[in-house]
Chain A
Amino acid sequence: MTTQIKDERVSQTSFATKMLQRPELGALIGAGVIFFLFWSVDTTGNFAAIGGTAGWTDIAAPIGIIAVFVALLMIGGEFDLSTGVMVGTSGLMAGLLTTEYNLNVWVAIALVFAFALLVGFINGMVVVNTGLPSFIVTLATFFVLRGANLAVTKELTGTVRVANVEDSNGFDQAHAIFASKMMIGTSNFQVSIIWWILATIFATWLLTRTRFGNWIFASGGDKVAARNAGVPVNRTKIILFMMSSLSASFVGIMFVLRLQGMQAGQGVGMEFFYIIAAAVGGTLLMGGAGSAIGASIGAAIMGIADIGIPYALWDQDWRWTFIGVILLAAVLVNTWIGTKAKGAKR
């Protein structure tokens, strides 16, 4: 067999440079540094152990499930501000259908998913047909749902929360699938973590291994050029909006089953956390580039901080400041590493 002749005209990028060009690596390094930071100030001794891991994954999973799909949408060039309140709407709707109308939990879940897909479809249709910024359109949806959450709940129950969902038909099986716990070692891990991992794998596969994934990058990068190249930009965006709404309703169902009810204000405010997780993970705010794994890493960072701060016996109000700082730092580092790596192609 002849030895392969190396073509000196073709330059080789080193493995390290190739890895550093990936948006996730900056986020992963950041996550590692933050983890070690909290490990070193931990007062309980449990932070880096099973107990602490169960804690931060519990907080990260519901953020991560939605953040990966919000990241896909952001790569596609759009924002969805209605995801947070959709968590509340979904949980409340499922709760009301089972407690006020005595529907089986599974039927309620199916109806809630259908509703979420409808809301996502409407978000998408309005954005592509009116040309309005998705920030505005989904902000409007956010307020519509926020008011409806309160008004409909009060109308049907007389109070502002739905309770006693655990008494409905099919609750136990649904609870086992969406809200149960697994004992690993000495701590309970939520099943939401498995759903988080599955969501990340699915979103990454969709983004990097399918034609649809290419369409996502194209729609976000330059939608006019994409359309001219034959990419169905409108259809792609509408599907992305539907996926982000569906992921939010999935988390809403998980919550209502775990909490055995839901407050009318649940979820409001969380929409920014999903966007921050995506941005920290390397997704550009202007679209066209990003990573679903990165969004999961961003969610993990938030979970680590939420557990690490009380474990360090710091005032938990610092959590907000911390999130602001990591957001800025992460985006700066990602941009810097990316530019350096891109510049060092040879």
Chain B
Amino acid sequence: MIYFDNVTKIYFQGAPAAVAEVTLSIKPGEFVSIVGHSGAGKTTLLKMLFAEVSPTQGSVFFGEQEIPRLSQKDLLKLRRNIGTVFQDFRLLPTKNIYENIAFALEVAGKSDEDIRADVPHVLELVGLAEKIWNFPHELSGGEQQRVAIARALVNQPDVLIADEPTGNLDPINAHDIVEILKRINDLGTTVLLTTHNKMVVDSVGRRVVTMDQGRVVRDDSHGAYVL
């Protein structure tokens, strides 16, 4: 379903490759943890999947679609089919929680009735139904990350990308987030998780891809955090 075909990314001439000759395939419904030190190339690899970065060499495929060659219209469609969660949450600060999640549905063209039904439902799923009218700055880091997950999930994407989702969270909140991600994966969504948190990777206990200096150095189907 997702295929990185000998992908290299060099940000500017003379700089070392952020990602070097990576070939990786991910099947539907997999939970893949991508681990490695800071600067190993994990985030760049994921950014190529939702076309925030284009590869210098090689290509990335999502099903039949070659991502770097997509038109702007198809790219927007792709992004609506890939949920994204980041370390810094990236919520819209001037919109309340309901509006933050509704926004993702509105851009996907959902009707007002669907939005009114789906937003409370997805917030219940992440345990934040009672904070629906709060603004992001009124929530804790863990709660904001759960809102980000809710927003990423609400369009029922095929893939959920979580880039260091626990990086700003304490261990208890980090554990809660991982449990939510596992539940989402159990429902059939492919999850790609980058982290350098050993506890997180070990508690997931699924496929682990290890990166170092832009290259994939290990790919274990039932791995643990090994650097």
Say if A and B assemble together: no
Q: Which residues of A approach B to under 8 Å, CB–CB? A: none
Q: Which residues of B approach A to under 8 Å, CB–CB? A: none
